[in-house]
């Protein structure tokens, strides 16, 4: 019995890499597997090497997770790319992505790309956001695929794991992957506005990278957490909220009596930017927020 990882899934074509042999094989699912399960890129499969070219897939190991966009199993990390400028930063979008990927069981790396474009004032803006996300407990890396800043740090972060790149259009996902691997990302799904140029594909390949792999298609460019989970679940995916114990264990951190998260926002321990994103995600409003210093307005 040998073990391999599915590194390519394109129509009927399945390519299996067997680390033990350091070789690629054409994967042929045996009847039982073919009927029982769909096989995805990232799947760890068990089977037999039939000949120099063929790997008979007899079983699929339990998956840690299975993403739909791109369709890859067992994704360890998602590099969520944002920019401060070109395009402007949208913290609500980042916060939604962080909530959803956490829910899906994928570890995020927060990347602020294109730092080469920033002037002094914009660097202050960058530092503010880096601070906010680091304090929340996230791994944050400012990068530039132009100047090379942060690329080595990102490389270290992706060693030996299966990762994908996600984030809004134009933030530099492709450029970063090209800088790291020399290969391009596939064109992502286009928005409904440009439906004509639609180029959806279920073909996925894992690009070998530093003992791990990078998916060759982008993850979500935007999401709404409530399409994935209940309103009550969202608070569990704001790691900085979990440090506080409210009077009621099902506290939504709105206007409940004994809410420690509210106290932390008032004291400035939880940044109001993050708390406001939380409110917006669950479509809630709290009157007390307008009284908090530096926290009014949108």
Ligand X SMILES: Nc1nc2c(ncn2[C@@H]2O[C@H](COP(=O)(O)OP(=O)(O)OP(=O)(O)O)[C@@H](O)[C@H]2O)c(=O)[nH]1
Q: Which residue positions form the known binding site for Zn(2+)?
A: 246, 251, 253, 259
Distance from C-alpha of 110 to C-alpha of 120, rounded to nearest angstrom: 21
Q: Which of 8, 16, 79, 114 binds ligand X (CB under 6 A)?
A: 114
**Residue whose C-alpha is closest to residue 140's, from 89, 179, 70:** 89
The reply to whether 265 sits near Zn ion by the rule CB under 5 A is no
For residue 133, the cross-strand partners are none
Query: Which does residue 253 touch among Zn ion, ligand X, none (CB within 5 to 8 A, set by kind)?
Result: Zn ion
DSSP state string for 224-258: -GGGTS-HHHHGGG-GGGGG---SSTT--SSS-TT
Site string (206-235) toward ligand X, x via CB under 6 A: ------------x-----------------
Q: At what angle do helices 151-158 and 173-181 cross, to 10 degrees?
A: 80
C-beta closer to ligand X: residue 217 or 270:
217
Query: Which does residue 172 touch among Zn ion, ligand X, none (CB within 5 to 8 A, set by kind)?
Result: ligand X
Of 28-36, 59-67, 113-121, 127-135, the window that binds ligand X (rule: CB under 6 A) is 113-121
Greatest Cα pair distance in the chain: 72
> What DSSP designation does 81 have?
E
Site string (130-169) toward ligand X, x via CB under 6 A: --------------xxx----------------------x
Using DSSP's 3-state secondary structure scheme, residue 257 falls into coil
Distance from C-alpha of 4 to C-alpha of 57, rounded to nearest angstrom: 9
Distance from C-alpha of 216 to C-alpha of 139, rounded to nearest angstrom: 22
The reply to whether 96 sits near ligand X by the rule CB under 6 A is no
The reply to whether 113 sits near ligand X by the rule CB under 6 A is yes
Distance from C-alpha of 184 to C-alpha of 238, rounded to nearest angstrom: 32
The reply to whether 261 sits near Zn ion by the rule CB under 5 A is yes
Q: Which of 150, 172, 219, 271 binds ligand X (CB under 6 A)?
A: 172
Residue 215 C-beta: closest distance to ligand X, Å: 13
**Residue whose C-alpha is closest to residue 246's, from 227, 225, 265:** 265
Query: Where do contacts with ligand X occur on this chain (CB under 6 A)?
Result: 113-114, 116-117, 144-146, 169-175, 185, 188, 218
């Amino acid at each position: 019995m040998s073990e391999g990882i599915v590194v390519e899934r394109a129509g009927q074509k399945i390519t299996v890499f067997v680390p033990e042999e350091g070789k690629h094989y054409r994967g042929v699912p045996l009847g039982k597997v073919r009927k029982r399960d769909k096989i995805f890129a990232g799947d760890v499969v068990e089977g037999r090497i039939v000949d120099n070219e063929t790997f008979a897939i007899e079983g699929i190991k339990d998956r840690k997770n299975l993403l739909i966009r791109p369709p890859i199993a067992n994704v360890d990390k998602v590099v969520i790319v944002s920019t401060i400028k070109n395009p402007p930063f949208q913290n609500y979008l980042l916060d939604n992505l962080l909530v959803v990927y956490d829910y899906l069981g994928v570890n995020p790396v927060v990347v602020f790309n294109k730092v080469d474009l920033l002037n002094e004032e914009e660097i202050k803006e960058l530092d503010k956001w880096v601070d906010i996300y680091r304090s929340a407990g996230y791994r944050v890396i400012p990068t530039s695929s132009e100047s090379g800043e942060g690329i080595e740090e990102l490389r270290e972060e992706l060693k030996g794991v299966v990762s994908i790149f996600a984030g809004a259009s134009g933030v530099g996902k492709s450029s970063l992957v090209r800088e790291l691997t020399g290969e391009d990302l596939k064109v992502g799904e286009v928005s409904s506005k440009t439906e004509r140029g639609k180029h959806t594909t279920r073909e996925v390949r894992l690009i070998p990278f530093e003992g791990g792999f990078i998916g060759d298609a982008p993850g979500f460019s935007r999401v709404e957490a409530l399409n994935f989970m209940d309103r009550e679940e969202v608070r569990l995916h704001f790691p900085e909220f979990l440090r506080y114990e409210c009077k009621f264990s099902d506290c939504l951190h709105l206007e409940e009596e004994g809410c420690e998260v509210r106290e932390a926002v008032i004291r400035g321990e939880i940044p109001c930017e993050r708390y406001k994103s939380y409110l917006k995600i669950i479509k809630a409003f709290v009157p007390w927020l307008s009284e908090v210093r530096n926290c009014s307005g949108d």
